[in-house]
């Protein structure tokens, strides 16, 4: 007989030693995840900023089914013309500023970062890369080199050389960017640090410094893309346009997909000689994932989800404001963090949340804040119910 709990520990390589969730998933629908006993959980994490239109949105499911009936994998990326890929790249180009008009599809956020780094090095013929302290860009060796936190990377050295760090939102440190710098990589809102929103002055100055020095500006919008903050992409709040935009997570409509997007001028150097294959991927831009992504965009616009993100965000903030266990609520749109007055209680609170039917967690580099990143489709009534449960979990 299947024993999911013991087999999970025995056969699945574990990503951490934390055991609190212990959740045997049976199904998921809308903003809810259900366990084997039928218990319902409000998903306030969206699978870490993935399920922006909710779990198994019927429109997305239908698009996936239609594509399954036509074809799945037929050839490695970029060799055959596959309509879902081409339509999605064209749609993204239409939705983005003119200089973000060409997409390279990959499988994940980490791979999008790897591709973007290679593109920046090849285009500029420079090697230095600058990243922001406490940013997170993925788990592959290149992306890991962009992590400032020594604890996470020391076991894997030597990593990619020529990486330097600046402090997010510290304009004075921009002088480190010079005509030796190939690119600067940053999130627009630092997720792992507990949702730290960029200062508009910093982003503007960063963009100007990159322009002055011929450095490419790379935005990592894995968590913020596809409407999370109330705009389709978070950089739209700032009027600052990156040279390369990296997206993943929610863009796949719950299917695996990532992309780095740039201008045709920059992107063209990837297929030019020396070496011929600047980047190659077998499954990047899988047609089923691209069909799901196109359907996700349709849902975002057909259901006017961007228009109500701020209102829903404010409802959450108002419902939590003044709670004695909360020190601060910060973020943008439905990308929120609540900082606890007593961080030592966080494990207990996460366990209480699970008991009360709420899925939330702390952040990679911030263990005193909880994430509130629900599907954008959450209704006002569901927000009230979820926040009531969350408050109960905070009061113990
Ligand atoms: C901001 C950010 N960048 C990059 C990544 C890496 O994405 P993936 O796990 O799909 O490789 C993540 C994943 O959590 C992320 O949050």
Strands 163-166 and 128-132: parallel
Contact 278 CB / ligand 1 (< 6 Å): no
User: What global pTM score does this model have?
Assistant: 0.97
* Ligand 1 atom having least distance to the Cα of 138: 6
Ligand 1 contact, 77 CB (< 6 A): no
pLDDT score recorded for residue 290: 98
Q: Is the CB of 136 under 6 A from ligand 1?
A: yes
| 122/176 Cα distance (integer angstroms) | 21
> What is the DSSP code string of 160-217?
-SSEEEE-TT-GGGGGG--TTEEEEEEESEETTTT-EEPPHHHHHHHHHHHHHHTPEE
* Whole-number pLDDT of residue 20: 64
Distance from C-alpha of 214 to C-alpha of 362, rounded to nearest angstrom: 38
Q: How confident is the model at residue 1, as a pLDDT?
A: 58
CB of residue 228 inside a 6 A radius of ligand 1: no
CB distance 191 to ligand 1 below 6 Å: yes
- Please list, in sequence order, all residues whose beta carbon lies within 8 angstroms of the beta carbon of residue 335, skipping any fewer than 6 positions away: 49, 189, 191, 195, 223, 224, 228, 229, 373
Q: How many CA atoms lie within 13 A of 296 on its CB side?
A: 32
Rounded distance from Cα 180 to ligand 1 centre (Å) = 27
102 lines ligand 1 (CB under 6 A): no
* From 248, 259, 362, mutation site for ligand 1 pocket: most ligand atoms within 8 A of C-beta: 248
Q: What structural domains does the chain harbor?
A: 4-53+304-394 (3.90.1150.10), 61-301 (3.40.640.10)
252 lines ligand 1 (CB under 6 A): no
Positive or negative torsion for Cα 320, 322, 328, 331: positive
Q: How high is the pLDDT of residue 257?
A: 98
Dihedral in degrees, nearest 10, Cα atoms 309, 315, 316, 322: 150
Q: Is the CB of 110 under 6 A from ligand 1?
A: yes
Tell me the three state secondary structure of residue 266: helix
Q: Please, where are the H alpha helices in the chain?
A: 4-11, 46-49, 58-68, 83-95, 109-124, 141-145, 150-153, 200-213, 264-267, 287-302, 309-320, 346-355, 380-394
Check if 187 has its Cβ closer than 6 Å to any atom of ligand 1. Answer: yes
Ligand 1 test: best mutation among 138, 140, 149, most atoms within 8 Å of CB? 138
d(CA 9, CA 226) in angstroms, rounded, equals: 34
334 exposure class (CB count in 10 Å sphere: 0-12, 13-18, 19+): buried
Pairing of strands 32-35, 25-29: antiparallel
Cβ–ligand 1 distance for 114 under 6 Å, the answer: no
Q: How far is the CA of 122 from the centre of ligand 1 (A)?
A: 23
Separation of CA 137 and ligand 1 centre (Å) = 5
| Ligand 1 pocket check for 146: Cβ under 6 Å | no
Asked whether 138 lines ligand 1 (CB < 6 A), one says: yes
Residue 121 C-alpha to ligand 1 middle, in angstroms?
21
Sign of CA dihedral 96, 170, 222, 141: positive
Residue nearest to atom 8 of ligand 1 (CA): 109
Q: Which two tokens stand for residue 16?
A: 């951490």
Rg of the chain's alpha carbons, rounded to an integer? 21
Does residue 137 have its Cβ closer than 6 Å to ligand 1?
Answer: yes
CA of 169 to the centre of ligand 1 (A): 21
226 Cα: distance to centroid of ligand 1 (angstroms)? 15
pLDDT < 70 positions in the chain: 1, 20
Best of 48, 140, 222, 234 to mutate for ligand 1, by most ligand atoms within 8 A of CB? Answer: 222
């Amino acid at each position: 007989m299947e024993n999911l709990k013991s087999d999970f520990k025995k056969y699945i390589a574990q990503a951490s030693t934390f055991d609190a969730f212990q959740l045997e998933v049976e199904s998921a629908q809308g903003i809810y995840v259900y366990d084997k006993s039928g218990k319902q959980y409000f998903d306030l994490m969206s699978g870490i900023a993935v399920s922006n239109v909710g779990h198994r949105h019927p429109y997305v499911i239908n698009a996936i089914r239609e594509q399954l009936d036509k074809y799945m994998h037929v050839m490695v990326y970029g060799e055959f013309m596959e309509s879902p890929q081409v339509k999605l790249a064209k749609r993204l180009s239409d939705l983005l500023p003119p200089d973000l008009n060409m997409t390279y599809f990959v499988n994940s956020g980490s791979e999008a970062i790897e591709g973007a780094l290679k593109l920046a090095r090849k285009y500029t013929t420079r090697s230095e890369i600058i990243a922001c302290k406490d940013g997170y860009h993925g788990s592959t060796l290149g992306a890991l080199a962009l992590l400032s936190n020594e604890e996470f990377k020391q076991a894997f050295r030597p990593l990619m050389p020529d990486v330097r760090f600046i402090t997010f939102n510290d304009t004075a440190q921009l002088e480190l960017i010079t005509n030796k710098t190939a690119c600067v990589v940053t999130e627009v809102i630092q997720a792992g640090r507990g949702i730290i929103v960029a200062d508009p002055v910093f982003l503007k100055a960063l963009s100007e410094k990159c322009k002055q020095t011929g450095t490419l500006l790379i935005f990592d919008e894995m968590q913020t893309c596809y409407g999370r903050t109330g705009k389709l992409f978070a950089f739209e709040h700032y009027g600052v346009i990156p040279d390369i935009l990296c997206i993943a997570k929610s863009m796949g409509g719950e299917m695996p997909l990532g992309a780095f997007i740039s201008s045709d001028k920059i992107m063209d150097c990837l297929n030019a000689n020396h070496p011929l294959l600047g980047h190659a991927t077998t499954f990047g831009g899988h047609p089923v994932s691209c069909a799901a992504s196109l359907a996700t965009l349709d849902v975002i616009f057909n259901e006017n989800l961007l228009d109500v993100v701020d209102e829903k965000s404010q409802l959450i903030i108002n419902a939590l404001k003044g709670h004695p266990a909360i020190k601060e609520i910060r973020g943008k749109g439905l990308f929120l963090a609540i900082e606890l007055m007593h961080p030592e209680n966080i494990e207990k609170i996460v366990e209480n949340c699970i008991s009360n039917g709420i899925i939330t967690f702390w952040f990679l580099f911030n263990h005193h804040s909880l994430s509130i990143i629900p599907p954008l489709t959450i209704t006002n009534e569901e927000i009230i119910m979820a926040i009531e449960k969350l408050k109960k979990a905070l009061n113990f």
